[in-house]
Amino acid sequence: MGLKKGGRPKLSQWGMTQVYIGLARYMKITYSKSGKVKSELTMWNAFKKLTESKHWDGIVKQIYKRSSNKELHINRLLNKEDDEEGRSQDYWCNKFYTNNVKRRGKDKLINYLSVKKTHRKKR
Residue 88 lies in a domain: yes
What is d(CA 99, CA 96) in angstroms, rounded to the nearest whole number?
5
- Per-residue pLDDT reduced to its tens digit, 82-121: 777 788 888 888 888 888 887 766 666 666 666 656 666 7
Total count of domains within the chain: 1
How much is the pTM? 0.73
Residue 29 lies in a domain: yes
Residue 71 lies in a domain: yes
Residue 122 lies in a domain: no
Residue 2 lies in a domain: no
- Per-residue pLDDT reduced to its tens digit, 43-74: 888 889 999 999 899 988 888 888 888 888 88
Residue 86 lies in a domain: yes
> Who's near 32: CB < 8 A, 6+ residues apart?
38
Judge residue 96's burial from the number of C-beta atoms within 10 Å of its C-beta, 0-12 exposed, 13-18 middle, 19 or more buried. buried
Residue 83: domain span: 13-114
